[in-house]
Amino acid sequence: MHLQQELECLPTKIKCLVEAAEFLGNIISEAGVSGHEDKVAAVVQKGMSGLFDEARTDALGNLIVLKRGIGRAPHPRVMLAAHMDEIGLMVTKIEDQGCLRVTQIGGIDRRILPGLEVIVHGRKKLPGVVGAKPPHVQERGEREKSVKWEDLYVDIGLAGDEARELVQIGDTITFAQTPIKLQGQFMAGKTMDDRAGVGVLYECLRALKTMRHHADVYCVATVQEEVGVRGATTSTYGIVPDVGIAIDVGFGDQASVPEYQSISMDKGPGISIGPAVHPAIHERLKSVAGELEISVQVDPSPHPGGTDAFAIQIARAGIPTALISIPLRYMHTAVETVCLTDIERAGRLLAEFIVRIDKKFVEGLKCF
């Protein structure tokens, strides 16, 4: 795109980024650890209102929105999946002095927990803080190691009996982090992994609203990815897509992370390559990006597990699959950081990819 065209499109792009930031801010502000995503799903569906033809929630809790294709049936089925669950904590014991012993839901780095503000989802939302033994009274060996789970607790400011009236074993706990607008188009907050991916679904649907496409597009906000890609497993089985694309986050460039293990922020989404990715879909995504001058990066993904792409690929008799990664800094913390332009580029790329899908392309995927 030439400079003059870029300048003419600038007001529209700014408006889109503002709307994307609002949508993303709303969904990352809602609590929804794995297995408790229903409130998040409601916020996502409301935010996508007007962009789809049909919406439903399946038995496991996945939100599935469908935008139908035009023309004569049968239509190719394209599934886009991004998980909406978040990591968090669960109450395992209420001590007599009122502190709550906890364990993890999903993969949490214990090093980030001491001093964090949290919300305990008991009979009502209760503010709390994560406490641990002060360094002044630790043994020398303790100071050199991460705090053990048994030495961590959540303090809500109540004694044991008072705490038990409002909290019970099994209640969930989430980070009490509000969205942070950083400089430029950078935004930080909890649950960007992977509600930034849900933001890509939103951007894709918004782009498709003004496009003609033959494929039926199923956008799925999946559940329980952080505890075993469960939502993607069941939703793929029900949809049986011809093409499946997972959108997740990748390691964005940051201090202390080697360049070869990261993808650059604000340089576009990563198009993954590896065992879980069908070569023809990978090449088509790169081709579309090149044709439209959408900035993208190739993201080596040698390990097939860990994202919804793995579950999609091995569903039923096998699904041709791809993986798009949004660069993200500080993964699995309360301040996960993304660049909104990467989300916009990913959504636009997927929409342009979808409008180019035809019967010939789908049939070609059956042969490597």
Does residue 303 contact residue 248 with C-beta atoms inside 8 Å? no
**Domain coordinates of the chain in residue numbers?**
3-86+190-364, 88-175
Confidence of residue 7 (pLDDT cuts 50, 70, 90): very low
Confidence of residue 2 (pLDDT cuts 50, 70, 90): very low
- Is residue 11 scored above 80 in pLDDT? no
CATH 2.30.38.10 fits 88-175, yes or no: no
To the nearest whole percent, how much of the chain has pLDDT over 90? 84
> Helical H runs in 48-159?
140-143
Adjacency order of strands within the sheet including 77-83: 54-57, 63-67, 216-222, 77-83, 243-251, 321-328, 270-273, 297-300
3-class SS of residue 259: helix
Exposed/middle/buried for residue 360 (C-beta within 10 Å: 0-12, 13-18, 19+): exposed
Q: What is the pLDDT of residue 147?
A: 82
Q: What is the pLDDT of residue 142?
A: 66
Q: What is the pLDDT of residue 16?
A: 72
Q: What is the mean pLDDT of residues 326-348?
A: 97
Quote the mean pLDDT of the chain: 93
Q: What is the mean pLDDT of residues 274-284?
A: 96
- Is residue 368 scored above 90 in pLDDT? no
Q: What is the mean pLDDT of residues 128-156?
A: 80
User: Of the candidates 275, 277, 294, which has an alpha carbon nearest to the alpha carbon of residue 349?
Assistant: 294
Q: What is the mean pLDDT of residues 95-107?
A: 95
Q: Which of 129-143, 279-293, 327-341 has the lowest mean pLDDT?
A: 129-143
Does residue 299 contact residue 328 with C-beta atoms inside 8 Å? no
Q: What is the pLDDT of residue 122?
A: 97
Q: What is the mean pLDDT of residues 292-296?
A: 97
Q: What is the mean pLDDT of residues 246-264?
A: 93
Q: What is the mean pLDDT of residues 227-252?
A: 97
Q: Which of 83-87, 130-134, 246-250 has the lowest mean pLDDT?
A: 130-134
- Is residue 92 scored above 50 in pLDDT? yes
Q: What is the mean pLDDT of residues 285-292?
A: 98
3-class SS of residue 322: strand
- Is residue 254 scored above 80 in pLDDT? yes
Q: What is the pLDDT of residue 321?
A: 97
List the CATH code of the domain at 3-86+190-364: 3.40.630.10
Q: What is the pLDDT of residue 75?
A: 96
Q: What is the pLDDT of residue 273?
A: 96
Q: What is the mean pLDDT of residues 315-339?
A: 97
Q: What is the pLDDT of residue 9?
A: 52
Does residue 352 contact residue 285 with C-beta atoms inside 8 Å? no
Across the chain, where does the E strand assignment appear? 54-57, 63-67, 77-83, 88-94, 100-105, 117-121, 125-131, 153-155, 172-175, 180-181, 186-189, 216-222, 243-251, 270-273, 297-300, 321-328, 336-339
Q: What is the pLDDT of residue 136?
A: 63
- Is residue 113 scored above 70 in pLDDT? yes
- Is residue 135 scored above 70 in pLDDT? no
Q: What is the mean pLDDT of residues 313-326?
A: 96
Q: What is the pLDDT of residue 18?
A: 84
Q: What is the pLDDT of residue 144?
A: 66
Q: What is the mean pLDDT of residues 180-202?
A: 97
- Is residue 240 scored above 80 in pLDDT? yes
Q: Which residues are designated catalytic?
A: 225
Confidence of residue 13 (pLDDT cuts 50, 70, 90): low
- Is residue 8 scored above 90 in pLDDT? no
